[in-house]
Amino acid sequence: MTKPDDSKLDPDALRAVEERARKLLDRSCAWDRFPTPIEDILATAELQVAPSSVFDPVRIFTYIRNKTADAKRYLKSAISKVFGIYDADDRIIHIDDTVGKTKQNFLKLHETGHHEIPTHQKLFRFFQECEKTLAPEIADLFEREANNFARFALFQGDGHARLAADCELSIRTPIGLAKKFGASVYASAREFARKNHRACVVYILERIEYVEGSGAQAAVRRIEVSPSFEKQFGRPDDTVITLDHVLGSVLPLGRKMTWPTALSITDRNGINHECVAEAFDTTRNVIILLYPIGALSRSTIVSPAGLKRIASAKTA
């Protein structure tokens, strides 16, 4: 099932959140430092990460016992899904250290957003995040604000977009930028599409599964489009990619990546466009990047569905 938008804010709210993140990056001298210096940002915000994980049955119940009755009920309701806790009283962040380091980086900045955004501190003294909001299946205003704070801080404002603009339009670009910024490929691919000046779309899929009678398929988790892609082609609303889907030939079955593959899609005016799609399996998700041939800024090698490789001429 496609997840709801976890970052949409009205322009004024977005500017306010980004200004808070910008000021913290200024204070921590984090600009143009790679990977993004998470620990320096936390130190500047006067936040600490708990030295030992609270995310085991003994520690988490001990932690709950020391909280208020309301907080206990709030935390217990999602205890099996908790990823991060912001304790405003003690200025401590608890992060599930069993998740990957790049996800921990985002979680730390997300919790820092709760700390740095004044409204959050005033209305809540205790925050907990669960899988439904972080995925998120349900994204309320504060979670979307914290997500945008974390995204702006992690990718240093438009830093990711500026670097991407000088790189080839290829799935390898967000993979490389993920390492540079200390982000997950998942987050980097989303950022790559949403801020790209070229026409492109990124599909984030769940793991490929094999369905009896249908074969391989993958549910669509998220779709991110660049502004120019949305203007020309609209926003796709696919919910599942099967082998019969136009992107079915791109699914990386039994391999890590899929070679750039030629296919055709129709724009808002019903005009067909030659496009290229390529994929990468992160082991947690499958990421597909699709872009019209006209968006290419340099030559590339394209593989049609029959796997015969052809050279694509450079286009303006």
Strand partners, 242: 217
Provide the pLDDT for residue 143: 85
Provide the pLDDT for residue 294: 85
| Residues 52-71 pLDDT 10s | 666 665 565 566 566 555 45
Provide the pLDDT for residue 312: 34
The pTM assigned to this predicted structure is 0.83
| Cβ neighbours for 287, distance < 8 A, ≥ 6 positions apart | 171, 174, 185, 186, 189, 202, 203, 204, 205, 279, 280, 281
Residue 12, φ and ψ in degrees, nearest 5: -65, -45
Q: Which positions of the chain have pLDDT values less than 70?
A: 52-82, 122-139, 297-316
Domain residue ranges in the chain: 11-154, 161-312
Whole-number Å distance between alpha carbons of 200 and 233 = 10
Look-up of token digits 């990047």: 289
Provide the pLDDT for residue 296: 72
| DSSP H helix total and E strand total for the chain | 12, 13
Whole-number Å distance between alpha carbons of 257 and 294 = 23
In the chain, what is the straight-line distance between the N-terminal and C-terminal CA atoms, in Å?
Answer: 37
Provide the pLDDT for residue 303: 58
| Residues 201-215 pLDDT 10s | 999 999 999 999 989
Look-up of token digits 């119940």: 61
Topology given in CATH for the domain delimited by 161-312: Beta-Lactamase (3.30.450)
CA-closest candidate to residue 292, choices 199, 230, 225? 199
Share of the chain above pLDDT 90, in %: 65
